[in-house]
A and B are shown apart, each in its own frame.
Chain A
Amino acid sequence: MSLLLYAITDAELGRDPELRGIDGAALQAIEAGGLVAVASGHSTTPPLDEAILWRFEQVIESLMQHGAVLPVRFGTTMETTDAIVAMLQSGRPELVDKLDAVRGAVELSVRGIWRDSPGPASAGAALTGTDYMRDRLAPQLRAQALAAQLHAHLDGQARASRHRILARPAVPVSAAFLVARGTEDEFVRAVTRLDAQLDGADLVCTGPWPAYSFAGDALGD
């Protein structure tokens, strides 16, 4: 049986017998040095589908009611509780810093979506090497300009932010903002104001999410 990890927290967890993990598995709180890893045991790999992803999310959201939470990358398993305890002990200083960074905050997602999908500027014309390179670069440059607008208008409302360009072809910019709990409405108003200024793009804001994008890079790196 392997243990699927959901999150790491330093909060006092209340007992919620109703809350179950993926596939209805019981949740385990594995503690070491004031840190708690929440996991569930699975003898076989659960079938992956949308419901499982939402269940994973639901568990982490429930933990957030108790305090700061670092979501773990979906699909991470460890074989034994001893291995988890060792990870908590060896990574403790780094984990404490990461928890402090997200404490009292939530993540809000802002995606930019083009309203139009213009064809290449050189469409219909004889294509030179320069035209080809310009057409290849144009979506990147346009997306980067939108990302810069997002940061210029929204970073002041956030503790931290990051973005990805063209993570999917139809989504030029996917940005994440770490926002102090209680200021979400203010942030959304800032998104609304920016949206009203944009000619060619719509903004879609979702959240609040656990701080997936701010849980840090690989532990130990």
Chain B
Amino acid sequence: MSSTGAVTVEHRARNVALIDLLDRLLQGGLVISGDITLAAADVDLVRLDLRILVAAIDKAMGT
């Protein structure tokens, strides 16, 4: 049970929803094969994922 006594429903509070956005954009969505190239190499997307997560945590911690 959450400390506030109610589930935390975040309607796009950015810091919270960012993790869900990242998961969806980078791991969800329709995968189209064929004559497709990624806009960025997978390794870049992984680095982006980590960098943004760290930034979000910093913001959440008020640093």
Instruction: Determine the interface band of chain A, counting residues with CB < 8 A from chain B.
Output: 35 or more
Contact of B25 among A53, A111, A202 (CB under 8 A): A53
Residues of A within 8 A of B61 (CB): none
A48 near B29: Cβ-Cβ < 8 Å:
no
Count A-B pairs with CB separation below 8 Å.
152
Task: Quote the shortest CB–CB distance from B20 to chain A (angstroms).
Answer: 5
Residues of B within 8 A of A174 (CB): 20, 23
Secondary structure class of chain B's binding surface, majority of residues: mixed
A46 near B28: Cβ-Cβ < 8 Å:
no
Report Cα–Cα, A54/B32, bound state, in Å: 21
Task: Quote the shortest CB–CB distance from B44 to chain A (angstroms).
Answer: 7
Report Cα–Cα, A212/B11, bound state, in Å: 17
Interface string of B5-32 (1 = CB under 8 A from A): 1111111101011111111111011111
User: Could you tell me which B residues sit within 8 Å of A by CB distance?
Assistant: 1-3, 5-12, 14, 16-26, 28-40, 44-45, 48, 52, 55
